[in-house]
Structure formats: C-alpha cells, structure tokens
Amino acid sequence: MIAADHPDRRSARLFVVEADGAMRDLPRVVLATLFDPGDLVVANDAATLPASLRGTHVPGDEAIEVRLAGWLSLPNPTRFVAIAFGAGDHRTRTEDRLPPPPLSPGDRLRLGSLEAVIERLLDHPRLLELGFTGNRAAVLAGLARHGRPIQYAHVPEPLALWDVWTKIAAAPVAFEAPSAGFALDWRTLQAWRRRGVGFATVTHAAGVSSTGDPALDLRLPFDEPYHIPERTAAQVARAKLRGGRIIAIGTSVVRALEAAANPGGNVRAENAIATGRIARGTRLHVVDAILTGVHQPGESHFELLRAFADDALLAKASAAFTTYRYRTHEFGDSMLLNR
Amino acid sequence: MQTNIDLQGLRVAVTGGTAGLGLALVRQLAEQGASVAFVARTTANVERIADETGAHGIVGDIGNKEDIYPIALQVTASLGGLDVLINNASSLGPVPLALLADTECEELEKALAVNLVGAFRLTKALFGALAASARGGRGALVINISSDAAVNAYPGWGAYGASKAALAHLTAIWDEEAKADGIRLLALDPGDMDTPLHALALPDADPATLKRPEVAAAEIIEKMLDALPVSTTILAGARG
C-alpha cells in the first residue's frame, strides 16, 4: 500500500530530452502544459490483474508462486502462460529466487481458493501453460481475492490493486502496470482538452518486465494482445494530417501503435497481437515521442528507447538521471523522449 | 412496468443486488437483455440471484475498503467494460432508528462507510472503465440511489439522512467535474418502497401504502435511458 500516502507523487520529476539533444529537468506537473494544440497523447488504459498467485504444488506438497504472464485466449480468464518460482516472495530479488519444484503436465496446483492444472510445459523450466478449474465467475472471484500484483524487491511493502491501477485503468488485461500512466491524472487530461491537445487510448495487455532468468529475459516482451479502438485510429489520422505529434504514454503504447501501423503512419483499428521487439534500428512509423519511466541499459524497456534516440544521447540522459537523483522504479520519475 | 425495452449490449453494475430495489433492478435489467453484474455480501444470496437471473454475481461488502478493487476487477472482467454503475447498497445506520443524540459514533461511521465512502470508492475504482465507455461513444453513467431523507429532516433518520445528503452533493459536484469526460452522475430518490431496508426502519408501516420496488426500478431504468446518449440507447435497441 503505497499510493494513498505517497508524498513522492506530487514532487515527481520529468526529464525532457529533445530530438536535438537539449535536456531539461522539470517538475512533472508541467506535463499539463507541455504539448501543442493538435498534438495527440495516446495512453494504455489496461487495468492490472493481481497476477501473482502463491500456493502449493500438490504432487510434492511444495511451495510455489506462479506469475500469470500471457493470455492464451483473451478474454478467457481461465487459461494463461505463467512463470513459476519456488518458495519465497517478491522481497527476494527475482534473479535470486529458487526454481519451482520439478513440474510435469497434469500436475495440480492449489492457489488460495483456486485450483489449477499444468497443461503444458514450454521450452524453459519456469515457463508453462496453466488452466484454472472451475467456471469463469469462480476463477475471477478467486483471482480477485487471492491474487496479488506482481512486484519486485525494490518495493518491499506489499502492493494492493489500487497501487497498480492507473487513474485511467479500465479493462483488467495487463499482467504488470502500464506504469508510465501513473504520470496521468484527470486534472492533466482536462488541461490538455482545454488546450486542444488530443487524448486517446489503446488497451494493451502489458506483460511481465522481468523473469529473473537471463535467457528468458532476452525473450521479453512476450507476445501481447492489444485493442486499438476506431476512434483512436481516427484521432491518429487527424493529428497526422494536421501535422500534430503523437505522444505515447509508455512502451506498451509504442508497441501497439507501431504493430498496427500502416506504412503511411496511420494505424489500423484492430484487435491483434504485438510480436517482435522494437529496438535500435527499428523504424518508427507513428510515434514521435514517448513518456516513460526512467529505464537503464539492459532493461527490456530500455531497448525500445533505442529506437527513439542514439546510444550517445541515451547515455547522456542516463548520466543526468544519476546527477539529478531520478528514481528509476515504476512508481518513480518520468522521461519525455522526443525524436 | 415496462416490458418492451431491449437493453442488449448495455453493461450495468448494481450494488446491493439481492434484495429490495437492487434485486428488482437486476431482474429487470437482465430480463431486458442488459449484461448485468451485481454485488452483495452473502454468498448464498448472490449464487441464488445469479442462478435465477443469469447476471454475474459478485460477493463483497461496499463498506469494506479491501473489497472495492476486487469488486471492480470482477465487474469489468465479467462485463468487458462498464456503461452504467448503480450505487444502491445502503446501510440504515442504527437499527431500530435512533435519535442522533442516542446514535453511537460507530453507527454513523458505518452508514457513511457504505452510503458515502463506499459509493465514492467504487465509482473511483470504476471511473477509468466508465471513461473508456464514454470515449467509445457509448456514454457513461453513475446512478447513486438517494432518499427524501437526504432533503427532509426526519427525526430518527440522522445517520442515514446525513449520509444520503452527502452522497447527493458529492454526486452533483462530481457530475460537474466529469461532464467534460463524458461521464454523468445522477442522484435519484426512488421513494418509500416496500423493501427489507424500509421494514428495518419502520416495521409497522403498512406495505400497501408503499411503492413496490419493481415500480421504482422501472422508473430508474427509464431515467437511466434518458441520461445516456441517444447513440447508446439506439445501440442498445431501447428506442424504436
């Protein structure tokens, strides 16, 4: 529980990196006045599932934690791709967590009031397909009651759902919070509307940002389903036509918009799956700027930033984060990176 | 009671959905084709009404902070979004009714926790889903069930009346604030009804003098349709 009395929120910082390399350290509240009439801000309105479930591997009577990490058939909440860990919890660094007990297809897991069966082992000892037994309503109730937000050792106090839902959170389809959206509030959205800055959303089922295993981490992000509404596609087209800039709130929005991009820079309204990685050398068709958390080299999110700016510029920004003591975790400060 | 309305496609959540007005709302909305999720505290009652109506039943206590986000999660996951939230669950305060000077502070707090803070919390947790519905052109509406006790100073109704008055004013302010986001908030007084809550308050009242909750529910559904954008009611097939 960190949101309710979170003094950091008001004093959050925003580091602005211009395409020409100019940099500014600003209070994040200036976000409300930063963009121009005709620009379009696009955010991810996915709410976050309580995707961490602890319980027992029934055959061996051993402790297990599963983290739901991918949909097998969105929006069916009874089947998922999941990552398994052994005993322990988020207070241990993910890379130091014990492996899960030996797992076999058909093994039963008891997770609070939920019961699940390992349907299939995937090509990594921690990676599996999981099916919950019971009807949809019972599974949703069990997840809601027993699940906890996925979290990492840098925030030791247990998180509640209200900590990981952004103010615009709508459909609960993300496995980790689309955390760049923590920078948004309704006051900022109203200020943009008054100034003629557009606002639109995509719904992108953001997956896990870290698995604790270097080989598995290299495969992040996993395939992620997204939805781009008709209205959002139309708003992108209108902004582009008028020469407005498209500002993505977070890496998940970049991934969805670029996956749905037509060569001309417009996007298709669609339900689809984002595959592949955006990284250095990826040509961006839609997004002109990204608002993101403060990411460091090596993180999966950092790789995506290399499509926006060259490594020398990102290195300069990283140095400035240290100088200005920017907070790097998902509840920390923000960077606006223009290209 | 209206029987010819088709609410196919409209996604509605009702709190306090297993008795009185809430139950009548769940039944009528489900009969008319809306996708309905409802909330109540008692598992057996939730299961019974879910079986009867086909609506999605959720067990939870609006007065309990820890229950709010789990409820919101189940509402949006089961309905695939939300167009209308009806905050109907209510706590009477002291039973039997008590003069304010005889009311325990905890009894007042309990009434506020459900009738005011609970409705606020759930609306806030579902605000993103309502805004998404509004952005999609479907409209978004919160109906907060109020009472004439919010306006008139009835002796004995202090805890309930004060909580409902606060809810009504919160509704009015929030409606002004959220209009531009396409979300409307309405406080509606259903009138004195023959419900378990009314029986708790006034056990000796003659049921024949009270409005049937089915009639009040139909009136509320009509006001709901009036408050939604025309496109939504056409989408829902509600207006020829």
> What ipTM does this complex have?
0.95
Predicted confidence at residue A5, as pLDDT, reads: 47
Predicted confidence at residue B43, as pLDDT, reads: 97
Task: Report the gap between the CA of B218 and the closest CA in chain A (Å).
Answer: 28
Q: What percent of chain A has pLDDT over 90?
A: 86
Q: What are the start-end ranges of the E strands in B65-190?
A: 84-87, 140-145, 183-188
Integer Rg of chain A from CA: 20
Interface touch B129/A170, C-beta < 8 Å: yes
Predicted confidence at residue B115, as pLDDT, reads: 98
Residues of chain A with C-beta less than 8 angstroms from the C-beta of B72: 161
Report how far residue A184's alpha carbon sits from residue A43's, in angstroms, rounded to the nearest whole number: 9
List B15's β-bridge partners, or say none.
B39
Average pLDDT on B59-85 reads 98
Q: Is the pLDDT of residue A237 over 90?
A: yes
Interface touch A161/B70, C-beta < 8 Å: yes
Residues of B with catalytic annotation? Answer: 160
Q: Is the pLDDT of residue A233 over 90?
A: yes
Length of chain A (residues): 339
Q: Is the pLDDT of residue A1 over 80?
A: no
Q: How many CB atoms lie within 10 A of CB A273?
A: 14
| pLDDT-derived band at A181, boundaries 50, 70, 90 | very high
Average pLDDT on A53-58 reads 98
Instruction: Considering only residues A216 and A47, tell me which one the structure prediction assigns the higher pLDDT.
Output: A47
Interface touch A144/B73, C-beta < 8 Å: yes
pLDDT digits (tens, 9 = 90+) for A125-172: 899 999 999 999 999 999 999 999 999 998 999 999 999 999 999 999
Residue A20: C-alpha distances to residues A104, A308, B49 (Å): 54, 12, 63
Which chain B residue has the Cα nearest residue A140? B74
The residue of B73, B78, B127, B175 whose CB has the most chain A CBs within 10 angstroms, and thus the best one to mutate to test that interface, is B73
Average pLDDT on A188-205 reads 97
* Spatial CB neighbours of B6, under 8 Å, sequence gap ≥ 6: B32, B33, B236, B237, B238
Helix B213-227 crosses helix B20-31 at what angle (to 10 degrees)? 60
pLDDT digits (tens, 9 = 90+) for B6-57: 899 999 999 999 999 999 999 999 999 999 999 999 999 999 999 999 999 9
Report how far residue B101's alpha carbon sits from residue B109's, in angstroms, rounded to the nearest whole number: 14
Interface touch B78/A137, C-beta < 8 Å: yes
Interface touch A161/B50, C-beta < 8 Å: no
List A334's β-bridge partners, or say none.
A14, A293
Predicted confidence at residue B233, as pLDDT, reads: 56
pLDDT digits (tens, 9 = 90+) for B123-160: 999 999 999 999 999 999 999 999 999 999 999 999 99
Residues of chain A with C-beta less than 8 angstroms from the C-beta of B131: 45, 168, 170
pLDDT digits (tens, 9 = 90+) for A269-293: 999 999 989 999 999 999 999 999 9
Q: Is the pLDDT of residue B1 over 50?
A: no
The closest CB to that of A167, out of B59, B128, B137, belongs to: B128
Predicted confidence at residue A4, as pLDDT, reads: 43
Instruction: Report the mean per-residue pLDDT for chain A.
Output: 94
Q: What percent of chain B has pLDDT over 70?
A: 94
Interfacial residues of B (vs A; Cβ cutoff 8 Å): 50, 56-59, 66, 68-74, 76-78, 80-81, 125, 127-129, 131-132, 135-137, 177, 180-181
Interfacial residues of A (vs B; Cβ cutoff 8 Å): 45, 47, 49-50, 75, 77, 136-137, 140-141, 143-145, 160-162, 165-172, 186, 189-190, 193, 200-201, 203, 229, 231
pLDDT digits (tens, 9 = 90+) for B160-170: 999 999 999 99
Average pLDDT on B83-110 reads 97
pLDDT digits (tens, 9 = 90+) for B184-209: 999 999 999 999 999 999 999 999 99
Q: Is the pLDDT of residue A298 over 70?
A: yes
CA-closest candidate to residue A271, choices A71, A13, A83, A25: A71
Residues of chain A with C-beta less than 8 angstroms from the C-beta of B66: 160
pLDDT digits (tens, 9 = 90+) for B113-122: 999 999 999 9
